[in-house]
């Protein structure tokens, strides 16, 4: 039973570019949440997708957008990259669009470096 997988594991981009990160949820899960974790900081909630719709959103600008596919996998897109977007991006999956962080299974993350 595969857990949460994310790709790529590492990525280097330059300012102004666009990036797409991918997440496959744990088998049987239908809800995907995305978090940004800057170095030395705790994670910050970006948004959550359930039934292919964005259900909740944190305090992130519109440059951060996402998508959920019918197979429940999800993408995080970031446009017009800034140096401050350099971080570990974590995906977490859960079931039914309810429940808190205690019900979420986290992936290993994608480490993004913006130069």
Partner 1 sequence: KNEVEQSPQNLTAQEGEFITINCSYSVGISALHWLQQHPGGGIVSLFMLSSGKKKHGRLIATINIQEKHSSLHITASHPRDSAVYICAVSANRDDKIIFGKGTRLHILP
Chain contacts with partner 1 (rule: CB under 8 A): 37, 40-45, 56, 58, 88, 90, 92, 100-104, 106-109, 111
Please give the C-alpha separations between residue 107 and each of 43, 61, 73, 88, in angstroms, as whole numbers.
13, 23, 12, 11
Nearer to partner 1, 79 or 95 (CB): 95
**Residue 96 Cβ vs partner 1, minimum distance, rounded to whole Å:** 15
Vertex 78, ends 86 and 18: CA angle to 5°? 90
**Residue 103 Cβ vs partner 1, minimum distance, rounded to whole Å:** 8
Nearer to partner 1, 79 or 86 (CB): 86
């Amino acid at each position: 039973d595969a857990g949460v997988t994310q790709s790529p594991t590492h990525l280097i981009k330059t300012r102004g570019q666009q990036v797409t990160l991918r997440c496959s949820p744990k088998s049987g899960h239908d809800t995907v949440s995305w978090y940004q974790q800057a170095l030395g900081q705790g994670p910050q909630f970006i948004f959550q997708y359930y039934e292919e719709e964005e259900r909740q959103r944190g305090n992130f600008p519109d440059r951060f957008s996402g998508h959920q596919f019918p197979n429940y996998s999800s993408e995080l897109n970031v446009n017009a990259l800034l140096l401050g977007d350099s971080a570990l991006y974590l995906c977490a999956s859960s079931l039914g669009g309810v429940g808190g962080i205690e019900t979420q299974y986290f992936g290993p993350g994608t480490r993004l470096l913006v130069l």
